[in-house]
Amino acid sequence: MGNRGRKATIRQLLLEENFETTLEVLLQLPGRQAVNPLFSFFYSGDERLRWRAVAAMGVVVSHLADTSLESARVVMRRLMWNLNDESGGIGWGSPEAMGEITALHDRLAKEFSGILISYIDPNGNFLEHELLQRGSLWGVGRLAHARPLLAKSACSFLPAFYEAPDPYLRGTAIWATGPILETRVRSLIERRLADNAPLRIFRQMRMTPTTVAELAAEALAFHPRQSEADP
């Protein structure tokens, strides 16, 4: 099968109703054959296709790392390059994919989690583009929900987004904070409990509608105040 035919096949698979079956089929392909088409779908205007490509990239690269760690590192470096100004492009989907991959693979998480977090660090590799900020916050959040110890340093940078005009930035930053919540930021999140601005967030392999307030309540529930936790 040529590259064009493979891309069309993978696109059709990503849009199938049973996404778990799709992932099983993709894992039967040599990792490198699936990676390039998945990259191209990061730029799709179809929300479902784009996010499923991100999720599939995580599964494919995690599996690839188990058989060829260096090949998986090459993919991670490509994602990083896409976010580099020198690449000449805009790295749509790259921080999300980095978050998904590091959530799924321990070794890659240990090697690349610091770089992922640097994309929300004003003194690091901070991403100025607002849509890329959405992606970097989601990537950090995906890592935090899977591996909170590796994401803990992100709690120093997430509060800067709690007051952002864009509800996607506010809500995603608060969602990302939940598993790594520190006492010093509780009051900042509590201020958003009346923030009913809507957004959609990709969780459990699907887009879910929510509000900033709902995400704030969920984040606070990870570590309730002592008086609330006592029976």
| pLDDT tens track for 208-226 | 999 999 999 999 999 876 5
Distance CA 81, CA 223 (A): 36
Q: Copy the structure tokens of residue 178.
A: 């939940």
Q: What is the pTM of this model?
A: 0.94
In degrees and rounded to multiples of 5, residue 117 shows phi and psi of: -65, -30
Kindly tell me the burial class for residue 3, based on how many C-beta atoms sit within 10 Å of its own C-beta (0-12, 13-18, 19 or more): exposed
Distance CA 142, CA 175 (A): 9
Distance CA 87, CA 156 (A): 29
Distances from the Cα of 121 to the Cαs of 87, 126, 219, in angstroms?
Answer: 20, 5, 21
- Cα-trace Rg, the chain: 18
| pLDDT tens track for 75-95 | 999 999 999 977 667 899 999
Residue 211, SS3?
Answer: strand
What confidence score (pLDDT) does residue 227 get? Answer: 45
What residue ranges of the chain have pLDDT lower than 50? 227-231
CATH architecture of 3-229: Alpha Horseshoe (1.25)
The Cβ-side half-sphere exposure at 110, using a 13 Å CA radius, reads 4
- Alpha carbon 227 to chain centroid distance? 33
Q: Map out the domains of the chain as residue ranges.
A: 3-229
